[in-house]
Amino acid sequence: MTTKQMLVMYLITLAVFFLIDTIWLGVVAKGFYRRHLGPMLSPKVNWAAAILFYLLFIVGLLVFVIKPALVSGEPIKALFFGALLGLISYATYDLSNLATLKDWPLGVTIVDLIWGSVLGGVVSFISVVLGRWLLNL
């Protein structure tokens, strides 16, 4: 893949990820996190940290999942390996919190591990399908 193609894939993946995760955080699970993490939640989102996570996670998906799936021509691999990377990434955060923070809810960890897997897999699969279509790969 050329540098230009990689940049296009990065932007596609970022847009897909942002759209899906915004729906999750802003609509589907908004009340869930408030109920379970209420006093732990900051009144203001640390946007720098949130944006940095998004940017780095997309790099991980692109390098370890999406590019290999595009090169091999097997989008279904992106679904499975994206889910694995999502699981590992979200587990790093949630299991660390479960291990070190007082009163970190097990339910939040379980939901986040499932969500990280679904998000990583779906974003990777959709990005590969869109990339193959837009870039004629």
Q: What residue spans define the domains of the chain?
A: 3-135
Give percent of the chain above pLDDT 70: 100
* Band (1; pLDDT cuts 50, 70, 90): confident
- Summarize the confidence of residues 81-107 as an average pLDDT: 96
Instruction: Compute the average pLDDT of residues 51-68.
Output: 97
DSSP 54: H
For the entire predicted model, the pTM comes to: 0.93
137 has a pLDDT exceeding 80:
no
* Residue 131 half-sphere exposure toward CB, CA atoms < 13 A: 33
Q: What per-residue confidence (pLDDT) applies to 8?
A: 96
Q: For the chain, how far is it from start to end, CA to CA, in angstroms? A: 9
On the question of pLDDT at 74 being above 80, the answer is yes
